Structure 1
Amino acid sequence: MSKTFGRRVAVTGLGTVSPFGGDTDDFFARIMRGESAIRLYEHPASPSRLVQPAVTCAAFDAKKAIGPAMTHVTDRYSQLGVAAAFSAWDDAGLTREDAGSDDYGVSWGTGTGGMLTYEKGYGDIYLLGKQRVSPLSVPMAMNNAAASHIAMALGLGSACLTYSVACASSTISIGEAFRRIQRGESPLIVAGGSESPLAFTIMRAWEAMRVVASGDEHTAYRACRPFQEGRKGLVLGEGAAALVLEDWEHAQQRGARIYCELAGFGQSCDHAHLVRPDAQGQARAMGAALREAQLVPAQVGYVNAHGTATVEGDPIEISALRQVFGADAAQLAVSATKSMHGHSLGAVGAMEALITVLALAKQQIPPTAHLEQVAEDCLGVRHVMGEGLRDVPLQAALSNSFAFGGSNAVLAFRAGSAA
């Protein structure tokens, strides 16, 4: 059942810290060209006899981006989040004088929180034989640390909330911020997510599930190949993305540039299996987002797919798309940008939402990198291959996130200021 609260929600600011750096336009341009940031990662704690995973690492200097004082008391996932939030704040045309409002809030997502802080603590005790860990370990590692640091840095006094729903975390954080603005609880919210999950134990745990792609120094860049025949699995990554969401009238009153409208948000639970996705559940979430946005399938020109390149997950998402879009599915442009920026778990939904917003704003559709032969079980939609499509008349687009635990979340964006 869809819910409509009346207030329109504008996207007025975008910020990211990606494997390509912190320049949002450059990030999108490289995604459009089909460039991959994936490479081999050798963790210092990893015995050389073990296969080295393919990953993406954020191009990021924390001290330069947020200052040495904050860097000293934060986990890397918080550092990434604060930097992305600062960037989105500036991009929205807001100044530090605009900060300090008790009406503005934060809505953030993360799946693992400060995992690097936990790993350092384990190493200090069990490997280095230290008697104690840093007294800052708990506040650095807690899942709501990033949101709290964003709120403190920008002086945002409305609700500061964190959502931890595995790979749907930041999509849900954006969707719930959308709800708060619709209800009139806040006129402006910084929403998104951050993740730095490249801890030795996490990488080995994902490898144990046999869903992680790898390669050698010559092939790692194309390790993640969603929808490809013979695909091998996902690639873990780190990064952050933030969107400034704003009440439409509030944005107009302050003369803000509006990228597009966030028009619908759909959620569902598969209630079927803890880690195996379900097409029916995904279809319910997409359908709910479309109904709230008052869109029919023919109006949607692009879907940024969850597309992780796992053998089981990709065809299930295509099946769900075919259920929702019916006869229109064959003309629906679909791509999975994880093939380039990797899967940053709880942060990736926000990164893909940012890409979807820019696709609408620029009327361009990014590709699935290194997709050369679509697997038979992934046929039925218009896969974007090679480089991205330019000068495409996009009215609306969806961004999909489907998480372990059966949680599905979909954002529906509408171009321009169309009602």
Structure 2
Amino acid sequence: MRRVVITGQGAFCALGASAGETGAAMREGRCGIGELDFADVERLSIRIGAQIRGYDPEAHFPKQALTLYDPFTQYALIAAREALAGSGLEITEELGEEAGVVLGTAGGGLQTQDENYRDVFERGKNRVHPFVVPRLMMNAAASHVSMAHGLRGPAFSVATACASSNHAMGQALGLIRSGQARVVLTGGSDSMLCFGGIKAWEGLRVMSKDGCRPFSASRNGMVQGEGAAVFVFEEYEHARARGAEILAEVAGFSMTSDASDIVTPNQHGAERAIRGALRDAGLAPEAVGYVNAHGTGTTVNDRTECAAIRAVFGAHADRLMVSSTKSMHGHIMGGTGAVEMLACVMALREGVIAPTIGYDAPDPDCDLDVVPNEARAARVGAVMSNAFAFGGLNAVLALRAV
């Protein structure tokens, strides 16, 4: 079975306009959550989020191209551009036929949808722009990334709510392992910080009005964010032959379904996904030094995830570092697992464990080392990334140093 490595990464979110800036913010424990700024925000009861500030689309794209790009597509294109440049890959005519794109998203072009609902229902317009469908469709980001870089192999989107990015990266891993591709740009993107996007989530009553504090006894809900992260997954021998810098090896992946409840997580489904990723990677539980948790900051999610980690890792759970970077960049929905993968790569390459900020009081149901408030220097040889989505869909990735 072919080995798969990461040779490039890119990001664009509230913490930074690049993978480097985002990693620096994680190291510093910086918070990207603040007051939301968009039309009709005063009608919302939830008015905070990890919103990208000071963004000028025309600094990144020609004005004509922007007629086709919802923000979620823009963010994916920016991140993909950085990832590919950092990898040093030249997409030749030959390689382009064996190179693909798999991106996760939960909302697709939700901002486009929101704006056009306003035009039709609020402003009484009877026409919408002819490119509304190409802008809002779930596969828009993946398709534009493939077109921008001549990637003519497998290209598609994955939509599994908050696990979309991890599922996408798992599919990219499978494509390379099976020989269907040599290179895949993969990750995820979402931009749901608009009136309709927040209003829908308000109805679930799982949102916090004052901040994201995963694992803390004072936690009271999640906070939404927006952005994208994209990685270059490459077949190991191909990367080595061209002398590429290898950031990490994607060692294992597993996905499970709870088949129990549409919104409430199930400990056994999470356990099976974690165990499956360890098995696929050929890793003993004791080999893992860090887990980037799903860690949304809701009471049920955090408690269930901690119980699943304890069940899988046993006594080693007391030595395991487990943090949630959502405390800094918010919950980016379908893009969140990709942004969190940056923390996993940072742990392996730099020996820096991203913290769980906002932690102010221990919860006996979350009695793990959650790396509270400050990043930590620690050498680890293997890490994991958890994603547990509404619908009972679980996706866990295992990475190791090369």
User: Normalising by the residue count of structure 1, what TM-score does the alignment of the two structures yield?
Assistant: 0.93
The answer as to whether partners of 1:40 and 1:52 remain within 8 angstroms in 2 is: no
**1:16 equivalent in structure 2:** 11
CA distance in 1, matches of 2:15, 2:354: 15
Query: Pick from 344, 368, 388: which aligns with 2:356?
Result: 368
Match of 1:302 among 286, 290, 293: 290
Deviation at 1:100, TM superposition (A): 7.2
Q: How does 1:238-387 map to 2 (within 5 A)?
A: 238-379=226-367, 381-387=368-374
CA distance in 1, matches of 2:373, 2:133: 45
Alignment partners' CA distance in 2, 1:19 and 1:70: 23
Contact 2:290 2:382 in 1 (8 A): yes
In terms of mean alpha carbon deviation, does 368-377 or 227-236 score higher? 368-377
Deviation at 1:68, TM superposition (A): 2.5
Offset of residue 32 of structure 1: 1.5
Paired AA for residue 254 in structure 2: G
Match of 2:199 among 201, 204, 218: 204
Query: Aligned with 2:289: secondary structure?
Result: strand
1:171 is the counterpart of 2:190:
no
Using the aligned pairs only, state the percent identity: 40
1:58 aligns with 2:52: yes
What does residue range 117-266 of structure 1 map to in structure 2 within 5 Å? 117-215=112-210, 223-266=211-254
- Superposition deviation, residue 99 in structure 1: 9.4
1:286-332 Cα distance to aligned partner (Å, 9 max, x none): 00000111111111000000000001110000000001000100110
Match of 1:67 among 39, 62, 79: 62
Q: Quick one: which of 79, 86, 97 aligns to 2:81?
A: 86
3-state DSSP of counterpart to 2:299: coil
Amino acid at match of 1:305: A
Q: 1:67 to 1:254 in 2, by over 3 A?
A: farther
Q: 1:389 aligns with which of 359, 376, 380?
A: 376
More displaced, 125-134 or 288-297? 125-134
Higher mean Cα deviation, 323-332 or 127-136?
127-136
What SS is found at the alignment partner of 2:208? coil
CA distance in 2, matches of 1:102, 1:353: 27
Contact 1:62 / 1:80 at 8 angstroms: preserved in 2?
Answer: no
The separation in 1 between residues aligned to 2:191 and 2:241, in whole angstroms, is 37
SS at 1:30's partner residue? helix
Cα separation, 1, equivalents of 2:42 and 2:66: 29
SS at match of 2:385: strand
What amino acid does structure 2 have at the position aligned with 1:385?
A: P
Cα offset, 1:23, TM superposition: 2.4
Letter in 2 for 1:92: S
Deviation at 1:54, TM superposition (A): 1.3
Once the two structures are TM-superposed, the CA of residue 98 in structure 1 deviates from its matched residue by 7.7
- Distance, in Å, in 2 between the alignment partners of 1:300 and 1:312 is 25
- Give the direction of change, closer, same or farther, for the CA distance of 1:363–1:78 in structure 2 (3 Å limit): same
Show the counterpart of 1:411: 397
Matched to 1:389, the amino acid is R
Deviation at 1:47, TM superposition (A): 4.1
Query: For residues 270 and 231 of structure 1, do their structure 2 counterparts lie closer, same or farther at Cα, with a shift above 3 Å needed?
Result: same
Q: Tell whether the 8 Å contact from 1:99 to 1:156 is kept in structure 2 after alignment.
A: no
Structure 1 window deviating more from structure 2 (109-118 vs 14-23): it is 14-23
Aligned to 1:10, the other structure's residue is in SS state strand
Shift of 1:96: 6.5
Deviation string for 1:340-386 (max 9, x for gaps)? 0000100001111122112111111111001122212111x212012
1 CA distance for matches of 2:318 and 2:46?
38
Q: 1:352/1:32 Cα in 2 relative to 1: closer, same or farther (>3 Å)?
A: same
Q: Is the 8 A contact 2:292 2:386 kept in 1?
A: yes
RMSD: 1.4
Gapped regions of structure 1 (runs ≥ 5): 1-5, 216-222
Deviation digits for residues 160-184 of structure 1 (CA, Å, limit 9, x no counterpart): 0110000000111001000010001
- 135-144 or 26-35, which deviates more: 26-35
SS at match of 1:58: coil
What is the deviation of 1:135? 0.8
* Equivalent AA in structure 2 for residue 359 of structure 1: A
If the length of structure 2 is used for normalisation, what is the TM-score? Answer: 0.97
